[in-house]
């Protein structure tokens, strides 16, 4: 996976959240930082797949897990495109989730992606302050 690796995913997550804290749209309006509940929705789907991945005995992903990863990508696209979800759209774009998900080819790749999602949530909570 080109965007993240075991050495940079925590720093990459911090950079994403810091950039989102100061993000503006095409009109120059400030974009609110996405709520922790929105990011946790994506994390929950990620965690469900992670639990199945952890049960695998070899590095090859099953067809069922590959389908779940594809569905997770679709859900991210849907959430980002929903009316009024501009913060989610910018989060999905800045985090590179839509580029990372199709590049997952092994158990190791998925575990790294899951850790990256956890790091995004952690940095959002640490740097983002309270939700309204």
More confident residue, 97 or 130: 97
Looking at residue 73, what is its pLDDT? 95
Over 80: is that where the pLDDT of 44 sits?
Answer: yes
- Whether pLDDT at 1 is above 80: no
Instruction: Give residue 118's pLDDT.
Output: 94
Question: What's the rounded Cα separation, in Å, for the pair 111 and 108?
Answer: 5
Q: What is the mean pLDDT of the chain?
A: 90
Q: Where are the beta strands (DSSP E) in the chain?
A: none
Backbone angles phi, psi at 66, to 5 degrees: -60, -40
Q: Is 114:47 a contact under the CB 8 Å cutoff?
A: yes
């Amino acid at each position: 996976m080109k965007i993240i690796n075991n050495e940079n995913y925590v720093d990459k997550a911090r950079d994403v959240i810091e950039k989102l804290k100061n993000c503006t749209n095409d009109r120059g309006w400030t974009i609110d930082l996405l709520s922790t509940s929105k990011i946790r929705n994506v994390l929950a789907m990620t965690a469900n797949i992670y639990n199945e991945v952890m049960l695998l005995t070899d590095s090859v992903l099953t067809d069922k897990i590959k389908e779940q990863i594809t569905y997770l990508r679709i859900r991210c696209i849907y959430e980002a495109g929903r009316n009024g979800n501009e913060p989610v759209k910018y989060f999905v774009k800045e985090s590179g989730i839509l580029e990372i998900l199709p590049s997952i080819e092994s158990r190791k790749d998925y575990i790294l992606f899951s850790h990256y999602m956890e790091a995004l949530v952690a940095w959002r909570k640490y740097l983002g302050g309270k939700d309204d």
